Amino acid sequence: MYNVDIENVRNAVKIFFKLIEKGEINKIDDREYMDMIDQSEVSDVLNVMEEETGTIILRGSDRIYISAKTDNKVFGYNNEELRNLLKVSDNSELYLCYFIMLCIMCLFYAGEGYDMKCREFIEIEEIHRYADDKIKSLEDFNKTEEVEATLQINFGTVVQKWNSMIVYDERKVNVQSTKNSRMAFIKKVCAFLRDQGLAIIEEDKVLRTTEKMDRMVTSYYTADDRKQEIMDFINGIKKDDLNADNK
């Protein structure tokens, strides 16, 4: 390995901890750091720090983000922390949150490996319809256990939890706002994405993704083969197809 200038190591460490502190740096507020990161040696050191700390540094148009990889126990969230952030009571609700997030990604991203954003915004009601359609398709699927073992995701719990919630009725405002309604649960997930800097909610009706989420999904998240397989499965399931397979 070639010798690295100690000053470049120091600059890389400064950038890394600034990213940990703020979650992102940008050209307006952090010009010094943005200039340093373009230096090849600094970038090389940051690449090593990414690998060793289980983080990923994502480049946007005028800013740089940091995120924990999904298996990161230091910089990422554990289940208890996620339950608190999402304001859910148990792991069954947490699994449903994961499923809804995956549905949102399936709606926003397309292409091989989901490396292309195909929508600028989505109405939250459409997320509800999409999730409801996919969960109904799973209900009659007799290979759930086999798929769960392969993809390592608990679809059975997702179906049970969804079915235990109050059915959404667009004509009834009180049902939409009821804590235990399906729509309220989806809005809770959207609010979590907003609070993490991954989405924007407009007038409580429309969801847009941020550049940070776009970079995370298209550059990192679906590079994991298992996660791509899960999204492929969710994207592809249709009730008629499953019924045909089960005959």
The total of structural domains in the chain comes to 2
Residues 47 and 126 in one domain: no
Distances (CA, A) of 173 to 44, 76, 124, 167, 169: 54, 36, 15, 12, 8
What integer best gives the mean pLDDT of the chain?
Answer: 85
Residues 36 and 95 in one domain: no
What is the sign, positive or negative, of the torsion defined by CA atoms of 123, 60, 114, 220? negative
- What are 181-211's pLDDT values in tens digits? 999 999 999 999 999 999 999 999 999 999 9
Count of beta carbons in the 10 Å neighbourhood of residue 203: 6
Tell whether 119 is covered by a domain.
yes
- What are 5-64's pLDDT values in tens digits? 899 999 999 999 999 999 999 999 999 999 999 899 999 999 999 988 888 899 888 999
Residues 217 and 138 in one domain: yes
- What are 125-156's pLDDT values in tens digits? 999 999 999 999 888 776 667 777 888 788 88
DSSP state of 90: S
Residues 52 and 114 in one domain: no
Structural domain for 92, as ranges: 79-246
Residues 168 and 231 in one domain: yes
- At residue 247, the pLDDT reads 42
Tell whether 14 is covered by a domain.
yes
pLDDT-derived band of residue 113, with 50, 70 and 90 as boundaries?
confident
Q: What is the mean pLDDT of residues 221-230?
A: 74
Which residue, 213, 185, 186, is CA-closest to 197? 213
Residues 33 and 113 in one domain: no
The number of residues in the chain equals: 247
State how far the Cα of 59 lies from the Cα of 172, in Å rounded to an integer. 43
Residues 87 and 64 in one domain: no
Burial class (CB in 10 A: 0-12, 13-18, 19+), 229: middle
Tell whether 74 is covered by a domain.
no
Residue 97 has pLDDT above 80, yes or no: yes
